[in-house]
Chains A and B, each alone.
Chain A
Amino acid sequence: MLQFSASFGRLLLELKKLPGVGEKTALRLAFHLLKSPGNIEALANSLISVAKNVHLCSVCFGITEDDPCVICSGGRDDSVICVVEESQDMLAIERSHAFRGKYHVLQGALSPLSGITPSQLRIAELLERLRHSQTREVILATNFSVEGEATALYLAKILKDLGLKVTRLAHGIPLGSDIEYVDAATVQRAVEGRSEF
């Protein structure tokens, strides 16, 4: 394929870097795009715009175009902060409309196997944030993987020492599964049924 067109070959290579995309899918996507030049331009523009405009909120570290993000700057309940691993976890909880407080995105979870220690997560920023806010309760909504659980246990100890109420999502989430894959209704039940750590 590369000998026919260098740019087509480059597109294939870029597509294959995406998660879940192999040789076959890359080819299918590339040929599909070729058939509709209008779509290619729209896609290219949105990619460039994402790269230029989307970044992490300097307060909660969720993805945003404005800084601070709409959730941090809006009239949300300041007394509760929900701590999640990734921006997509925040999105899943937002979709459930069950939570009216603010968020903090850790940008990962503790994992010695991948060399991720507390200092690589946005934990120091969370503690700094709590020092200057009216927050009384922190909901630990990290994943129910062993890594998410370790992160929650680690944070729970520190936060309780600061005199905060610490809760963990508890209900309706199957053992070992990621919160990202749980449908909105289940997350809603989980937020309502949180229990004190």
Chain B
Amino acid sequence: MILSRLSVQSFRNLAATTVEFGTGFNIFCGDNAQGKTNILESIYLLGTLKSFRMAKNPELIGWEKQFSLIKGLISDDGLNREVDLLLDQAGKKVRVDQKTVVRVADFFGILTVVLFSPEELTMVRGAPESRRRYLDRAIFAGDVIYLTRHHEYMRILKQRNALLRSGDTSSLEPWNEQLAVAGAQLVTSRVGYIGNIDKLLKETFREITDTNDEVAISYHSGSLAYSEDLNDNIDRLAAALNKRREPELLQRTTLTGPHRDDIVFTINGKPLRHSSSQGQQRCFVLALKMAEIELLRRCRSVSPVLLLDDMTSELDSRRIANLLKFLTDRRMQVFVTTTGTNDFELFEDNNLRLFHVEQGTVRPANKA
């Protein structure tokens, strides 16, 4: 899919503008804090309704403005769709081809985005929550039902925790049963996804780094060993809930389930967080993103657009060249921000559009 046109109005510091994009690399260059990343953020919002900086609407809406408007024209396989996203103090409203959208499934999938930004390194070193969030978003990008299931699981979890807090657990059984089923559904999707992405990760890591380092990603759930079979996982989670009843009654919260699980990254058999350099970690996350793209392409026949925030920092020129080749080979549409001006020699491909970003104004430029 291609985002061929983007209009923004009162979004962050950006001046109202309409930009036409190329089908290959679209590069936004400028000094820091001029608004480059805001453009990527607006595109990400258009695809996911979320900000990758975890920002809430009041931060996204321009200074002293009532609302912001982001509009995109997306073409996929000859089909053009227009997506309008309105952000106001009350929330977000979406229109697709001028029609208001109420159901989640009618919106998601029109623009699929994959993001790589420096902040995502926290995924390697940070709390399990950041890895779960990454995994959930990645699965959801190719599977709309997953979001509904996730909401459902969180609702059951909240209800069950409220019951545990109340101390009266005589009606706990139906919540256990539901938690086991909804939890196992999430876990089964996650285990299946991790299995697929692990294979592709090994390929993409080699493609980008030219090394023989063995990388792996696996799903961890304490002492619970899940399989790829849903019924099997329901039984395991239900048994684990029964086993932990006593400590749960004491701590008055749900101690087992996908909301407590984690994902482990390893390189040559050792945990990535301990045993590698920042550069290696960055390559790992980048390769993971490329694997995510490959999985969408192969299993879902979706060709996402890629957002690369501050691409060139901490990657050497050979790896950047490998990355660019990877993306060019797949004819990906890519949106890149960069402060450097020397990097452009690396883009030999002429399918390139350059934009200067200065104080919130985006101007198309000739190739430097």
Q: Which of A's residues lie within 8 Å of B, judged by CB? A: 110-113, 115, 117-118, 145-147, 149-154, 157, 175-176
- In the assembled complex, 16 residue pairs joining A and B whose CB atoms fall closer than 8 Å, in A order, are A112-B163, A112-B166, A113-B159, A113-B162, A117-B171, A146-B152, A146-B182, A150-B156, A150-B171, A150-B174, A150-B178, A151-B174, A152-B174, A154-B171, A154-B174, A176-B148
Q: Assess whether A157 is in contact with B173, with CB atoms less than 8 Å apart.
A: yes
B155: which A residues are within 8 A, CB to CB? 145-146
Q: Is B64 an interface residue (CB 8 A)?
A: no
Determine the interface band of chain B, counting residues with CB < 8 A from chain A: 20 to 34
Contacts A146-B152, A153-B178, A154-B173 given; 5 further ones with Cβ under 8 A? Answer: A110-B174, A112-B166, A149-B178, A153-B174, A176-B148
Q: Is B177 an interface residue (CB 8 A)?
A: yes
Q: Assess whether B159 is in contact with A146, with CB atoms less than 8 Å apart.
A: yes
A110: which B residues are within 8 A, CB to CB? 171, 174
User: Closest approach, in angstroms, between the C-beta of A149 and any C-beta of chain B?
Assistant: 6
B175: which A residues are within 8 A, CB to CB? 112, 150
B171: which A residues are within 8 A, CB to CB? 110, 117-118, 150, 154
B148: which A residues are within 8 A, CB to CB? 175-176
Q: Which 10 residue pairs are nearest across A and B when measured between Cβ atoms?
A: A153-B174, A112-B162, A112-B163, A150-B174, A154-B174, A113-B162, A146-B155, A146-B156, A112-B159, A153-B177
Q: Assess whether B160 is in contact with A112, with CB atoms less than 8 Å apart.
A: yes
User: Closest approach, in angstroms, between the C-beta of B148 and any C-beta of chain A?
Assistant: 6
Q: Is B318 an interface residue (CB 8 A)?
A: no
User: How far apart sit A117 and B152, CA to CA, in the bound complex (Å)?
Assistant: 20
Q: Assess whether A153 is in contact with B160, with CB atoms less than 8 Å apart.
A: no
* Majority secondary structure, B binding face: helix
Q: Which of B's residues lie within 8 Å of A, judged by CB? A: 145, 148, 151-152, 155-156, 158-160, 162-163, 166, 168, 170-171, 173-175, 177-178, 182
Interchain CB contact (< 8 A) of A153 among B151, B158, B166, B173 = B173
User: How far apart sit A118 and B159, CA to CA, in the bound complex (Å)?
Assistant: 14
User: How far apart sit A145 and B178, CA to CA, in the bound complex (Å)?
Assistant: 11
Residue of A nearest to B162 (CB): A112
User: How far apart sit A152 and B173, CA to CA, in the bound complex (Å)?
Assistant: 12
Q: Assess whether B152 is in contact with A176, with CB atoms less than 8 Å apart.
A: yes
User: How far apart sit A149 and B173, CA to CA, in the bound complex (Å)?
Assistant: 12
User: How far apart sit A113 and B159, CA to CA, in the bound complex (Å)?
Assistant: 6
* Majority secondary structure, A binding face: helix
Q: Assess whether B166 is in contact with A176, with CB atoms less than 8 Å apart.
A: no
By CB atoms of chain B within 10 A, which of A110, A113, A118, A176 has the most? A113
Residue of A nearest to B181 (CB): A149
Interchain CB contact (< 8 A) of A113 among B158, B173, B178 = B158
By CB atoms of chain B within 10 A, which of A117, A146, A147, A154 has the most? A146
User: How far apart sit A101 and B151, CA to CA, in the bound complex (Å)?
Assistant: 35
A145: which B residues are within 8 A, CB to CB? 155
Residue of B nearest to A144 (CB): B152
User: How far apart sit A183 and B37, CA to CA, in the bound complex (Å)?
Assistant: 45
User: Closest approach, in angstroms, between the C-beta of A25 and any C-beta of chain B?
Assistant: 16
A175: which B residues are within 8 A, CB to CB? 145, 148, 152
User: Closest approach, in angstroms, between the C-beta of A19 and any C-beta of chain B?
Assistant: 17
A111: which B residues are within 8 A, CB to CB? 159
User: How far apart sit A112 and B158, CA to CA, in the bound complex (Å)?
Assistant: 9
User: Closest approach, in angstroms, between the C-beta of A106 and any C-beta of chain B?
Assistant: 14
By CB atoms of chain A within 10 A, which of B155, B163, B174 has the most? B174
A154: which B residues are within 8 A, CB to CB? 171, 173-174
B158: which A residues are within 8 A, CB to CB? 113
User: Closest approach, in angstroms, between the C-beta of A177 and any C-beta of chain B?
Assistant: 9
User: How far apart sit A113 and B171, CA to CA, in the bound complex (Å)?
Assistant: 13
Q: Assess whether B173 is in contact with A147, with CB atoms less than 8 Å apart.
A: no
User: How far apart sit A115 and B173, CA to CA, in the bound complex (Å)?
Assistant: 17
User: Closest approach, in angstroms, between the C-beta of B182 and any C-beta of chain A?
Assistant: 8
User: How far apart sit A117 and B173, CA to CA, in the bound complex (Å)?
Assistant: 13
Q: Assess whether B168 is in contact with A150, with CB atoms less than 8 Å apart.
A: no
B166: which A residues are within 8 A, CB to CB? 112, 115
B177: which A residues are within 8 A, CB to CB? 153
Q: Assess whether B159 is in contact with A117, with CB atoms less than 8 Å apart.
A: no
User: Closest approach, in angstroms, between the C-beta of A168 and any C-beta of chain B?
Assistant: 13
Q: Assess whether B151 is in contact with A176, with CB atoms less than 8 Å apart.
A: yes
User: Closest approach, in angstroms, between the C-beta of A10 and any C-beta of chain B?
Assistant: 28
User: How far apart sit A175 and B152, CA to CA, in the bound complex (Å)?
Assistant: 9
User: How far apart sit A153 and B174, CA to CA, in the bound complex (Å)?
Assistant: 5
Q: Assess whether B168 is in contact with A117, with CB atoms less than 8 Å apart.
A: yes
Residue of B nearest to A157 (CB): B173
A150: which B residues are within 8 A, CB to CB? 156, 159, 171, 174-175, 178
User: Closest approach, in angstroms, between the C-beta of A151 and any C-beta of chain B?
Assistant: 7
User: Closest approach, in angstroms, between the C-beta of B229 and any C-beta of chain A?
Assistant: 21
B163: which A residues are within 8 A, CB to CB? 112
User: Closest approach, in angstroms, between the C-beta of A117 and any C-beta of chain B?
Assistant: 6
A149: which B residues are within 8 A, CB to CB? 174, 178
User: How far apart sit A110 and B166, CA to CA, in the bound complex (Å)?
Assistant: 14
